[in-house]
Structure 1
Amino acid sequence: MASKFPTKEDKDKQLRTRKGHDMTWSCDKHGEPITFFCKQHKIPICHKCATKVHQKPCELDDIEDVIIERRGHLEEKQPLIEETKLLLQKVQSKINAVSSSSSMHLETVNNKLQETFKDKLKNVKEKEVNLIRVINEEADEEIRKINEKREKRIKDCNIDIEKEQTTIKERETRLLSDTKTISDEITKKINELTNKNQHALNTMKNIESTITRINQHDETLVNEAPQVLASIEENLSLNFHQDVSGCLDRIQSEVERVKFVEGEVGGEYCCRIDGYIGKWELVKSIHIPSGVNKPWVRGLISDDEICVEDAKNHDMYVTNINTQHTQKVIDGVSSMYFTSCAPINSNVIVCGKWRCDWMGDGLDGFITLYDRQWKMIRDISIPLNGGGPRLYVDVDRDGMILAAQYGQSTIYVINPDDGKIVHTVTMQGEEVCGNIQALSSGDIVVNTDYNKYTAISRSGEEKAVIHCDEWGESKCRVDKLTDTLFITYRVAGKTYAVDQVSRDGIIQARGIVEYLESDRPFYFSPCLVTPCGNHVVCDGDKLLLYKKTFIL
């Protein structure tokens, strides 16, 4: 053991000071200055210790060389420590920048959202004023006779306008709540990174303080330097600043995806916060009544109404995913079943059909318009061009009906008001093999093979081929607000999955939803996308409702 060398009172033991050597450091046993370092026993020793105890095979180094060497090792690490401190300070700057830019971006989204709803509230208010003015003008002509009627109409008008205002305010509140949830998630992550980065900075400062302390005494330096060096190596090997920087880049990328999207679907105004990939969570399961022997999802006719056909007897049902109530709306016949359906507006639904009982030169009874009580309004006919007795329909952004016959290359654009064909789209080298989907851009996505979808323009030009060998038999549905495609396919056995794909054919996310089919017989059905952005799939026994949440 080494201790402080005797004080200056012991004149006979006064020692000569050597460069790089603290002469107050002496041997506890012999009282002589420390002169060597035994590598075998890893301890400092005096000359007598070396002579009596630490002879060969012990290997001795001059204590001054050991001190100079270890001090040098510590000094070599100082630039790396300074560099790491600078990197961590840059990371902190980036944390502050990303936090600021995220807040500014979300504030911009909120401002746009609030401005839009402010305009809508203003328009609704103007609508109320105009309606009341018209009512008053009519009442003035025969005020005594229609005064009571006028007051009733004003009251009804106020009630209707109040409902519209309430709906708009509720939508705004819901969307602002969505952006706040996203903002809270970002803030939580930013705070975690800030705490971690501050901890790393504090660790570096503690290491610097320790180095300063042990450099003050040779004994402390020799005894503690190896542990300090090991701590430095351990902390520098973590590359913490790189991990934090990468995480910040991911946060910024996800935040910039967040958008306020709006548009009309089925004649109804729809809006939501979307754009990010997120995580899909099952939020509701709606049991399909046992009376539906073989469920077959045919389409979405409103934000909360799903058409489900019994593939065994072709009865048509409508399930409300909010009330979870299922009602039969059409009695089936053996010669006809529905292939597709879509809302034209809040009052009218269009359905495409398969029929084996038609006769004549045209496809009569393959397109039918129904009101919301499922009473037939009228049939629409299109020319017969060969192909199979199946017709698929959808509704485009302008409220026009798109209709295509299986096995043909022609898609008809039909005015639902008079049933007349206003435009014809002809694909080049492709045939319709399943559903057609209208995009908000005006383009059309057509199922042209069992695992292939082709995006075409209104002139028939091919815009993109959407294909994946892993899909096998698949079904495609389009998000009408974002033009994002969702492909449902069987993964293996009873497992199904849904992939998210851009309209350009780029797979953005695999397996965003996965589910198992039940033992109940059913027909493979697509993943429906509601106007508010939720997903609905069918496992045979239930309709499963999934909602997307923002994650980092």
Structure 2
Amino acid sequence: MASGFSISADDTKCEGCCTEDTAHVSYRVEVRQKLCDGCAHDKQGSINTTEWFCQKHLTDKAKIYCLTHDVPICEACAITIHKSSCTLGEIEDTLKDRKDDLVRLIEASKTNEETFSHQMKSVDEELGGLEQHFAKEEEKLRLAYEREEKKLKESFGNHQRKLKEVSTRLRDMTECLRDQPKKKCKGLVEMRTRAEELLTNKSDLMRDFQEINNSLTCLTNQSNPDINVKVVMKRVMGVAKKVSFTETDSHGIGTIEAPVETWVPNDEYNPEIGKLSYMMGAISGTEVVIKDNEKHSIYIVNVEAKTKKKVIKSNSPYDLWRCVPLKDVRRRIVCGSNDGEVIICDRSWKALTVIRVAESSSVCVAVNTDGLILANAIGSGTIGIYDPADGKLLRSIVKKTPIYDMCALASGQIVILNECVEGIDVTVLDDSGEILASKHCHGEGIKSLVVDRGHDLIYLLSWDRHHSDYKVCVLSTSAEFVAERVAECEPSFCSPSYAIPRPDRMVIYTDGKLLTFRKTNRGLHQLLAEIKLKEGAV
């Protein structure tokens, strides 16, 4: 048999008839020839393929199989070469064991196929309700449009786009839920078919057992009956039903009702640092960093405990301006200075690493999802990406317009405030710098931006000329406003600064006081993001 012969470049040639590309099935002992099927019948003294022969002694029958080297061996080899460190077994026992293993895995895969099929069925059952719901709402919208077609054409188009946008996001989520078990089920069936074929061919079974065994085991273990897809789909459907079209009795066509994010004032605290001070950023869910601009001192303020601690005195060699947590095991802090530097500090605010970004400019800093530092010298169009381990520049993103603020999202995207011909844009970039979305904010009086990293939401602080105060609005990563004036504050001597220490808390620092706001309602984008985060399946 072929598995008992040595392998060479001439193995595809029968030594009896000299035919190329003919599989060998026998070995002629007398003259040591490898023969094809036809020659094996004509020659005498051939070894039949149903017998096993020693890998080393080609004419000696093998009853023993070395499991360590995956080869048949004779008794002489068993007590010499393969004696000390090898695991041995009878060939027939090995065949039986391997057949038993594959039979067990095949049966297990059938059970898991049922699990995958059940998950797909659960998605299909709920998907029908999802489609019916949006078909019904779109039909209501269409009928209302027909009555007011001439007057309300533009309004209808806007509403329809909004409804389509939401329904598309939900459909994409359900398709992802369905595709995962579908792909796994397909792979499982294909590998099980191969395993069943091995049971009928001893040579293939011995040769391909390990590969098929490992692949089938891996696919079988991927089945997770603990993930209740039906429950996930119920949550998706629950969000979908919060979106609906409501016709009005007035001249308007109606409105699209959807969950909108809302905040309310929660508390106020005066840390008595001085009115000529500003907030550099948040470094934890309860702590913000405030700088006294007169004395150049820096404080950490706990907004919940209402305590403050001076961490840098006025004699610091670095004029720090912005800060973000690095979120590594050492809990380091990344700061941008007013002198063109990035300074990495420990929790005692001792400078560990200094990175020169520009000669003399305020530097905006962020930390991306890979833990790398993003730095931009305000007014330049370059974002440098640095390794916090050694401070080396890894690569740069270069835009053609000046950048005035920057944040990083957990999705890997980057949000910037950049200059355009008519004013300021909010632009969402991918991690390579390609533009994904952009919003023109001309005349909006934009001051700065922060983000809720976990839910990929963008918060803009701007001057509201209609109300003569400062307001905070919310944008999605598609650069569309999803909530207006979720928080506001009165004008002060210095422009206010603000932060989102955690998803349900906002802090605005103005006129020497800390104003905290509490989120009372989650918007549509956050509800969808929470399904993804909770289930880890979409």
Question: The TM-score by the shorter chain falls in which range?
Answer: 0.3 to 0.5
Q: Please tell me whether Structure 1 or Structure 2 has the larger radius of gyration of its CA atoms.
A: 1
- TM-score computed with the length of structure 2 as normaliser: 0.47
